[in-house]
């Protein structure tokens, strides 16, 4: 998983949910979407990972994710050769109906803090490897690998800590703990204690269009379950567990929830390799049941359904991690030392 997450993460018009780390691909998505719908990029224009990465001064990982999101929104089409081509222009809205930014925002990327340029890739590299072992994160080697200062490397690691991916051990070393069955079980237990409460708090604050859009995506996913990819599953997970819960507006609670949600980051890697491990992905009808209960105004029942969903998801996650580690072997990285 050598990428900044996978396509689909927080993808509703690429808007960032409060309390999460901003993603570089989202900014690229918004800028290119604006250029397409405003005619700056004409129908048929070809776009590629390498071209987008060079244009914005970013790695190919976020460029790839931005292109996948643009295709998902109908703004790009897969080219018969390699890359994409701009689709026939549509209305100047996308995602949840928000207006897209214009090409004048292109310089915004050049103003990003250096840590933001590399954070997504580092997050994904570490999350991928925690399925196999625990790791020590070496700040000095991280800075050398990405040719950045120690201060930038420290900023990246601090944000990894906020996301629950790393923590300090008793020798003040940064450790990314392994996703062992015991650790996964502990994280899921935290989730089923906290997330239902956050759901109840968020229910009255949800934008009126959010639940119908999530339900539509779930209906579409269930009807075409055999074609779903890892990125599709990742997006559907974040619809419920990040976007919807993000309306809780209890900052300390959301901070507490963000720690066990390191599982969602690890799942991007797992879904990439085994998106249909269980045949038809079992979380889809479970998510749909929760959303339908919320739409009907049965908030307590929805919270109970979310709790049950997380409890049964624990064993599925452990099984998925076990099977993936039997088949996938990521390459070594100089800033990660196996424990």
State pLDDT tens for residues 106-123.
434 544 567 777 887 888
Residue 111's pLDDT is 46
Report which of 163, 33, 171 is spatially closest to residue 102, judged by C-alpha positions: 33
CB 196 within 8 A of CB 303: yes
Q: The tokens of 103 are what?
A: 């090409």
Per-residue pLDDT of the chain (339 residues; tens, 9 = 90+): 333 333 333 333 444 433 343 467 877 888 888 888 877 777 888 888 888 877 777 777 788 888 888 888 888 988 766 788 888 766 555 544 444 444 444 434 544 567 777 887 888 788 878 878 899 999 999 999 988 899 999 999 998 888 788 999 999 999 998 888 898 888 899 999 999 999 999 999 999 999 999 999 999 989 987 777 777 777 888 899 988 998 998 888 887 887 776 666 666 666 665 555 555 678 899 999 999 999 999 999 999 999 999 999 998 888 877 777 777 777 889 999 998
- Provide the edge-to-edge strand list for the sheet that holds 76-78: 46-47, 84-86, 76-78
3-state secondary structure 119-170: HHHHHHHHHHHCCCCCEEECHHHHHHHHCCCHHHHHHHHHHHHHCCCCEECC
Integer Cα distance of 35 and 86 in angstroms: 10
Give per-residue pLDDT as tens, 163-179.
Answer: 788 999 999 999 998 88
Residue 196's pLDDT is 97
Integer Cα distance of 320 and 230 in angstroms: 13
Residue 265's pLDDT is 64
Residue 80's pLDDT is 66
Q: The tokens of 69 are what?
A: 């999101």
3-state secondary structure the chain: CCCCCCCCCCCHHHCCCCCCCCCHHHHHHHHHHHHHHCCCCCCCCEECHHHHHHHHCCCHHHHHHHHHHHHHCCCEEECCCCCEEECCCCCCEECCCEECCCHHHHHHHHHCCHHHHHHHHHHHHHHHHCCCCCEEECHHHHHHHHCCCHHHHHHHHHHHHHCCCCEECCCCCEEECCCCHHHHHHHHHHHHHHHHHHHHHHHHHCCCCHHHHHHHHHHHHHHCHHHCCHHHHHHHHHHHHHHHHHHHCCHHHHHHHHCCCHHHHHHHHHHHHCCCCCCCCCHHHHHHHHHHHHHCCCHHHHHHHHHHHHHHHHHHHHHHHHHHHHHCCCCCCCCEEEC
Residue 144's pLDDT is 92
Question: Which is it for strands 135-137 and 174-176: parallel, antiparallel or unpaired?
Answer: antiparallel
Integer Cα distance of 87 and 130 in angstroms: 39
Residue 263's pLDDT is 67
- Residue 122: how many CB atoms within 10 A of its CB? 24
């Amino acid at each position: 998983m050598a990428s900044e997450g996978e396509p689909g993460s927080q993808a509703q018009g690429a808007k960032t949910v409060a309390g999460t780390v901003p993603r570089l691909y989202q900014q690229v998505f918004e800028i290119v979407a604006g250029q397409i719908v405003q005619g700056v990029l004409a129908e048929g224009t070809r776009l590629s990972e390498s071209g987008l990465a060079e244009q914005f001064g970013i790695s190919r990982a976020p460029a790839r994710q931005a292109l996948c999101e643009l295709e998902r929104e109908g703004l790009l089409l897969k080219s018969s050769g390699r890359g994409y081509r701009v689709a026939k222009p549509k209305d100047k809205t996308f995602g949840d109906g928000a207006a897209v930014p214009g090409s004048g925002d292109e310089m915004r990327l050049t103003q990003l803090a250096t840590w933001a340029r590399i954070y997504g890739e580092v997050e994904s590299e570490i999350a991928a490897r925690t399925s196999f072992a625990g790791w020590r994160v070496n700040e000095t080697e991280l800075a050398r690998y990405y040719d950045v200062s120690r201060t930038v490397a420290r900023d990246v690691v601090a944000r990894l800590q906020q996301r629950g991916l790393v923590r300090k051990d008793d020798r003040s070393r940064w450790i990314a703990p392994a996703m062992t069955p015991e650790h996964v079980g502990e994280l899921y237990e935290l989730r089923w204690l906290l997330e239902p409460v956050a759901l109840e708090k968020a229910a009255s604050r949800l934008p009126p269009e959010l639940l119908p859009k999530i339900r539509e995506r779930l209906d579409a996913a269930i009807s075409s379950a055999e074609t779903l990819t890892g990125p599709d599953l990742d997006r559907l997970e974040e619809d419920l567990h990040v976007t919807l819960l993000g309306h809780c507006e209890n900052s300390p609670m959301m901070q507490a929830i963000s720690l066990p949600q390191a599982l969602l980051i690890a799942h991007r890697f797992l879904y990439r390799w085994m998106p249909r491990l269980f045949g038809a992905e079992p979380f889809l009808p479970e998510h749909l049941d929760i959303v339908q209960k919320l739409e009907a105004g049965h908030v307590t029942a929805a919270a109970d359904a979310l709790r049950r969903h997380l409890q049964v998801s624990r064993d599925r996650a452990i099984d998925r991690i076990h099977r993936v580690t039997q088949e996938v072997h990521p390459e070594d990285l100089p800033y990660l030392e196996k424990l």
